[in-house]
């Protein structure tokens, strides 16, 4: 029988992590963990996946073994936990004998709550011997998609993790991943032999990410434009190096090592702070690159897809793909490195069919080297074909991604992709243009590639045209009023629409696809698009959905950078950007006021609270601005959306879904609306009797602290309800509670 999460758990959650609520998927996973049951957790990057095993480990006691794929990732996670006052450690080859002895002592004294190890290390005898006489409550397997050969990043050693179940038969097992189709989910359950697992799948949508797909042209120039969009107060032709308070963070993925080296060199030559990362570098060089990026000593990492899984930097503001990924799963995983802190970030893909052909060759080469099954090859090629279709089909990107993973998408307009932002124009006479292109492919015998077909369509006088006699074709020059770039883009879109297909690897040729006949005979009308104009340079400026003081934000980032260097951790591990954004918006004047900031726990308040207050107070005195401010909205449109939803008394969970924010954010906005006198009745969200009870306890205890009220109520209500009731009490509108 499934139990409820006890009230004491939420008290611990507030004190340690600074969170008062959990997402539904987290509740399901944590409940399973507390009940000692197995679980499969599919939560997108930035969705609080790690909390699902960390919080139960802290609350319950004993030790949890955490399997993580890379040493660098384990180090970041351990550093982050220690900042919260949680005893955690990692067991890997980099440890000194003294460090190993300290961990063994901590385990024997039942002090360590989480011990991280790689899958290879976890199955060695010396690791298993660490737990003799220790109470192993659970095993958490992070990046669990590595178990499945039908997903991406398949690692055979992950399949051996079933041996941990045999070593610790009484421990529950939790498998966690950010990306998994239903097929991969089932494969994870089967391969790890999870016992009647609770399966919690969060929405695959990442509403804070803006997706754009652009034709691949001049990669260096395109990357420079994107980087500049994310530099605050940047101007053209200035030195592109950034001071610590304006550091940005971005990842640029390339297909080949040579591409990485060339692009890195080009970016550095024009003044950008960039560093390369790929498997051709030594271990020391890769480690230096990763640490420089994590510690915000460089702005941009240019890398092959070998880089990313080990990255725990939360404030990556953009991810650029200079070549297409091999599947939607890979794309979701790699773009998921952006905006892990929940703030607005951008994901741009530079598309070329030539790159798609190169990926096809790599898949077939890998299959031959590894003697993969025909079924595996077919699956990989189908995944690539589906992703090409995603790139070239004009529709909402958020909808396409969400529906690919088998979920519904409720918004008509995501307002966060090139299609929904109106950056793509539907081409007039799309049907006629498509028919002309398909007719040309047919009349050329389906024996030529994109360049030759484009030459015929524009009426080129190239020597090869004359030799083949293609100037006599009826389709010669039939699209001469358009540019070569436009025609190539439309050909690629027709491939994505299955009206054309690419055949052959060494010499790829275009052939008519399954949808060609319907288009040629007029029963199907394709929609072709083209860019409507330049993308706004304001794309990277506004990080949060509420207004915050950017100058104060930068000062707090500067303080964070200095403090993190002293403490010896990465800046974003000390405090993520969303915490600094909310601090710079509310400008709290006391430690107690800081407790309302999401993501600040008691350990962090004790260690850094006074220093943060000094920075805020000094700034406010200098700028003559007031402290203790409510959140305000950056746009009238968003404000109107909240006002309407509050006016119609929509449930908080429903508002969060509609506006693509967390329930915590909705609660904050509702509190601000109450304090501003715009909402005077909270009955739709908090029962009147509960409101009266909360206010009565507050009157008895005195002060405005939430924790004593929560404890007095013995956890019978949520922190959100207490916040709303305290807000209505503060306005003097309590008599309106019916």
What DSSP string describes 577-593? HHHHHHHHHH---SHHH
Contacts of 621 by beta carbon, 8 Å cutoff, 6+ apart: none
Lowest mean pLDDT among 233-237, 240-244, 283-287, 695-699: 233-237
- pTM of the prediction? 0.76
- CATH number for 605: 1.10.150.80
Residue 97 within any structural domain of the chain: yes
Q: Is the pLDDT of residue 234 over 70?
A: no
Residue 1 within any structural domain of the chain: no
Q: Same domain, yes or no, for 259 and 397? A: yes
Of 240-244, 264-268, 503-507, the range with the highest mean pLDDT is: 264-268
Q: What percent of the chain has pLDDT over 70?
A: 90
Q: Same domain, yes or no, for 100 and 118? A: yes
Residue 562 within any structural domain of the chain: yes
Q: Is the pLDDT of residue 41 over 60?
A: yes
Of 169-173, 246-250, 357-361, 540-544, the range with the highest mean pLDDT is: 169-173
For residue 272, the tally of other CB atoms under 10 A from its CB is: 23
Q: Same domain, yes or no, for 81 and 190? A: yes
Q: Is the pLDDT of residue 324 over 50?
A: yes
Q: How many domains does the chain have?
A: 5
Lowest mean pLDDT among 105-109, 181-185, 232-236: 232-236
DSSP string, 175-220: EEES---HHHHHHHHHHHT-SS-EEEE-----TTEEEEEEE---HH
Average pLDDT, the chain: 85
- 31 versus 649: the higher-pLDDT residue is 31
Cα–Cα dist 409/402, whole Å? 6
Lowest mean pLDDT among 102-106, 211-215, 527-531: 527-531
Q: Same domain, yes or no, for 615 and 644? A: no
Please count the residues of the chain: 738
Q: Please give the average per-residue pLDDT across 445-455, as a whole number.
A: 93
Closest to 312 (Cα-Cα) out of 251, 259, 252:
251
Cα–Cα dist 530/425, whole Å? 5
Q: Is the pLDDT of residue 618 over 50?
A: yes
Q: What angle do CA 325, 326, 327 make, to 5 degrees?
A: 95
Q: Same domain, yes or no, for 123 and 182? A: yes
- 480 versus 424: the higher-pLDDT residue is 480
Q: 377, exposed or middle or buried, with CB in 10 Å at 0-12, 13-18, 19+? A: middle
Q: Same domain, yes or no, for 619 and 643? A: no
Q: Same domain, yes or no, for 95 and 167? A: yes
Q: Same domain, yes or no, for 347 and 474? A: no
Q: Please give the average per-residue pLDDT across 127-147, as a whole number.
A: 86
Band (637; pLDDT cuts 50, 70, 90): low
Confidence (pLDDT) at 115: 95
Residue 279 within any structural domain of the chain: yes
Backbone angles phi, psi at 173, to 5 degrees: -125, 135
Contacts of 562 by beta carbon, 8 Å cutoff, 6+ apart: 244
Q: Is the pLDDT of residue 181 over 90?
A: no
Confidence (pLDDT) at 638: 59
Residue-wise pLDDT tens digits, 53-83 = 999 999 988 899 999 887 777 888 898 899 9
Q: Same domain, yes or no, for 214 and 140? A: no
Q: Please give the average per-residue pLDDT across 523-551, as a whole number.
A: 70
Q: Same domain, yes or no, for 229 and 365? A: yes
- 669 versus 418: the higher-pLDDT residue is 418
Band (279; pLDDT cuts 50, 70, 90): confident
Q: Same domain, yes or no, for 494 and 579? A: no
- Answer whether 114's CB lies under 8 Å from 66's CB: yes
Closest to 611 (Cα-Cα) out of 578, 569, 570, 562:
562
Residue 628 within any structural domain of the chain: no
The residue segments making up the domain with residue 339 are: 209-422
Q: Is the pLDDT of residue 587 over 90?
A: yes
- CATH number for 445: 1.10.10.10
Residue 631 within any structural domain of the chain: no
Q: Please give the average per-residue pLDDT across 290-305, as a whole number.
A: 89
Residue 418 within any structural domain of the chain: yes
What sign does the dihedral 307-308-310-315 (CA atoms) show?
A: positive
- Answer whether 491's CB lies under 8 Å from 450's CB: yes
Which of 422, 446, 475 is a domain's end point? 422
Residue-wise pLDDT tens digits, 370-385 = 777 888 888 888 889 8
Closest to 453 (Cα-Cα) out of 395, 394, 512, 411:
512
Which of 482, 503, 531 is a domain's end point? 531
Which of 144, 178, 201 is a domain's end point? 201
Q: Same domain, yes or no, for 486 and 597? A: no
Residue 730 within any structural domain of the chain: yes
- CATH number for 124: 3.40.50.300
DSSP string, 100-151: HHHHHHHHHTT---EEEE-HHHHTSHHHHGGGTTS-EEEEEESSGGGG-TTS
Cα–Cα dist 466/473, whole Å? 11
Q: What angle do CA 606, 609, 615 make, to 5 degrees?
A: 155
DSSP string, 221-236: HHHHHHHHHTSTT--T
């Amino acid at each position: 029988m499934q139990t409820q999460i006890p009230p004491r758990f939420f008290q611990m959650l507030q004190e340690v992590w600074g969170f008062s609520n959990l997402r539904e998927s987290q509740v399901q996973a944590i409940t399973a963990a507390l009940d000692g049951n197995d679980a499969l957790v599919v939560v997108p990057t930035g969705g609080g996946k790690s909390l699902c095993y960390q919080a139960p480990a802290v609350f319950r006691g004993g030790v949890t073994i955490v399997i993580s794929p890379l040493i660098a990732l384990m180090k970041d996670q351990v550093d982050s936990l220690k900042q919260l006052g949680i005893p955690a450690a990692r067991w890997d080859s980099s440890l000194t004998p003294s460090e190993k002895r300290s961990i063994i002592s901590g385990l024997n004294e039942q002090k360590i709550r989480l011990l991280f190890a790689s899958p290879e290390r976890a199955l060695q005898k010396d690791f298993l011997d660490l737990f003799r006489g220790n109470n192993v409550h659970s095993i958490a397997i992070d990046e669990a998609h590595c178990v499945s050969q039908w997903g991406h990043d398949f690692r055979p050693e992950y399949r051996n993790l079933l041996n941990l179940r045999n070593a610790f038969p009484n421990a529950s097992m939790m498998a966690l991943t950010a990306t998994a189709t239903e097929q991969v989910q089932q494969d994870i359950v089967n391969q790890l032999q999870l016992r009647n697992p609770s399966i919690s799948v969060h929405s695959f949508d990442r509403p804070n990410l803006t997706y754009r797909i652009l034709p691949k042209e001049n990669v260096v120039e395109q990357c420079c434009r994107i980087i500049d969009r994310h530099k605050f107060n940047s101007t053209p032709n200035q030195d592109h190096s950034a001071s610590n308070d304006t550091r940005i963070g971005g990842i640029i993925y390339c297909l080949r090592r040579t591409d990485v080296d060339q692009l890195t060199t080009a970016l550095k030559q024009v003044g950008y702070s960039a560093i390369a990362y790929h498997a051709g570098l030594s271990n020391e060089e890769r480690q230096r690159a990763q640490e420089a990026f994590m510690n915000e000593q460089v702005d941009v990492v240019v890398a092959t897809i070998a880089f990313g899984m080990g990255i725990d930097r939360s404030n990556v503001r953009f991810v650029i793909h200079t070549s297409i990924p091999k599947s939607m799963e890979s794309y979701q995983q790699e773009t998921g490195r952006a905006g892990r802190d929940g703030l607005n970030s951008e994901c741009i893909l530079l598309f070329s069919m030539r790159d798609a052909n190169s990926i096809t060759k790599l898949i077939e080469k890998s299959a031959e080297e590894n003697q993969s099954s025909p079924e595996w090859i077919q699956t990989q090629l189908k995944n690539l074909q589906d992703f090409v279709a995603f790139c070239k089909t004009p529709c909402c990107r958020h909808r396409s991604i969400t529906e690919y993973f088998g979920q519904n998408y409720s918004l008509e307009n995501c307002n966060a992709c090139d299609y929904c932002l109106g950056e793509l124009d539907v081409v007039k006479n799309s049907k006629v243009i498509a028919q002309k292109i398909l007719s040309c492919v047919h009349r050329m015998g389906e024996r030529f590639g994109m360049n030759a077909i484009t030459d015929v369509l524009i009426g080129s006088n190239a020597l090869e045209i004359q030799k083949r006699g293609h100037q006599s074709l009826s389709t010669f020059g039939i699209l001469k009023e358009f540019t070569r770039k436009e025609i190539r883009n439309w050909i690629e879109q027709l491939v994505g629409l299955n009206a054309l297909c690419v055949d052959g690897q060494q010499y790829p040729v275009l052939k008519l696809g399954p949808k060609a006949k319907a288009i040629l005979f007029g029963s199907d009308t394709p929609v072709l698009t083209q860019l409507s104009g330049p993308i706004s340079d304001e794309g990277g400026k506004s990080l949060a959905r509420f207004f915050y003081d950017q100058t104060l934000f930068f000062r707090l980032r500067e303080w964070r950078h200095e403090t993190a260097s002293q403490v010896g951790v990465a800046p974003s591990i000390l405090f993520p950007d969303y915490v600094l954004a909310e601090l710079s918006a509310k400008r709290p004047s006391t430690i107690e006021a800081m407790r309302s900031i999401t993501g600040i726990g008691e350990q962090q308040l004790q260690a850094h609270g006074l220093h943060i207050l000094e920075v805020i107070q000094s700034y406010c005195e200098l700028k003559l601005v007031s402290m203790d401010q409510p959140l305000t909205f950056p746009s009238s449109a968003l404000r109107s959306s909240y006002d309407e939803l509050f006016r119609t008394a929509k449930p908080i969970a429903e508002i969060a879904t509609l506006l693509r924010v967390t329930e915590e954010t909705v609660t904050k906005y509702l509190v601000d609306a109450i304090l501003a006198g715009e909402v005077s009745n909270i009955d739709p969200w908090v029962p009147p009797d509960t409101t009266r009870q909360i206010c009565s306890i507050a009157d008895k205890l005195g002060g405005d602290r939430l924790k004593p009220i929560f404890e007095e109520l013995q956890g019978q209500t949520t922190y959100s309800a207490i916040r709303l009731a305290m807000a209505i009490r503060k306005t003097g509108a309590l008599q309106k509670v019916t």
